[in-house]
Amino acid sequence: MKLRRIGILTGGGDCPGLNAVIRSVAKPAMAHFNTTVIGILDGYEGMVEGTHRELTPRDVTGIINMGGTILGTSNKGDPFHFPMGTGSNIRIVDASQQVIEHYRNLKLDALITIGGDGTQIIANKLFDMGLNVVGVPKTIDNDLDATDITFGHDSARAVATEAVDRLQTTASAHHRVIVVEMMGRYAGWIALGAGVAGGADIILIPEIPFHWDKVFEAVLKRSKGAKFSILCVAEGAKPHGGDISVKQMDKKRTDPVQLGGIGELVAKRIEEETGLETRVTVLGHVQRGGSPTAFDRILATRLGTVALEAASRGEFGVMASLQQNNVVTVALKDAIGKQRLVPPDSQLVFAARAVGTCMGD
């Protein structure tokens, strides 16, 4: 297929590796296909509002190690759930026809959508409406199905692991319990990975509801020996029979639930029930920032080149995917069918338990 003009956007939350994908699509498109590459600004907001700029070889030079995204992004730009107005006058409208119009006005032959489950769900809807779409899986949460891992996750896990390493020393010095709240939404991959890598004493993840008495028992036992404890808590973790902690609701987002607060709750309950001095650290957006790891730079580059290759042969409605260390394409509809969560009986959970980590159950 002749690729005269292609668009590329980054949707949802930012993460390390986005620029590496942009580079791996744009450079070969310009060099080998003589394609004009249009950068859509701020995710799907740019497709709705028609904001974009043409990328040049200079734009995509020296960006493989840069965090964030040179195109900007947004998790509030779902064209099928688009917020219009400000303040109390916000109304939600279907702006998908504006996306179709701008796609045609830009004379695009294909649109590369880089993002997580929300971004790819939108991409699949646009494909059903007739657009030539190819997805690239991105999320620090690693919760997108049909790929073994998403780029961005390794970088976030590395940042979280370093945080645990640093908190170990201050927890030990002051004989404290330190609770570290990590991102991940409804999946516990970051907390589990960083917890195992950092040697956390307790790991609480959404997939394994915890019992308060098990947590109290574990920190009290530690207090009689090592005299400090580190807890890695995923933001979507919840007690057995309880609910997730919600920070606030944002109707401008397709998923209005903004998680947060479980770290504070766990720290408060531990101090009240055990009398042990407890502190909480919420890593928050620091997990999204900074340069990508070598693994994520390589994976992002592989995914981007395969996405462009798929577009060049007219294969649309698909997503690039890492499966058994090979990058292939899978149907978008299969990639968005379900979330990829931590299996409670997984080998990593087994390994955590084997070395004495309390999972709260």
CB 90 within 8 A of CB 251: yes
- The verdict on whether 141 is a catalytic residue reads yes
CB 268 within 8 A of CB 245: no
CB 336 within 8 A of CB 181: no
Q: Which of 141, 143, 154, 296 is catalytic?
A: 141
Tokens of 194: 């960083």
190 closest CA partner among 341, 359, 312: 341
Instruction: Count CB atoms within 10 A of the CB of residue 205.
Output: 30
Residue 220 phi/psi, 5-degree rounding, is: -65, -40
Exposure class string for 34-56: b at 16+ Cβ within 10 A, else e:
ebbbbbbbbbbbbbbbeebeebe
Any bridge partners for residue 83, and if so which? 92
Q: Which residues are catalytic?
A: 141
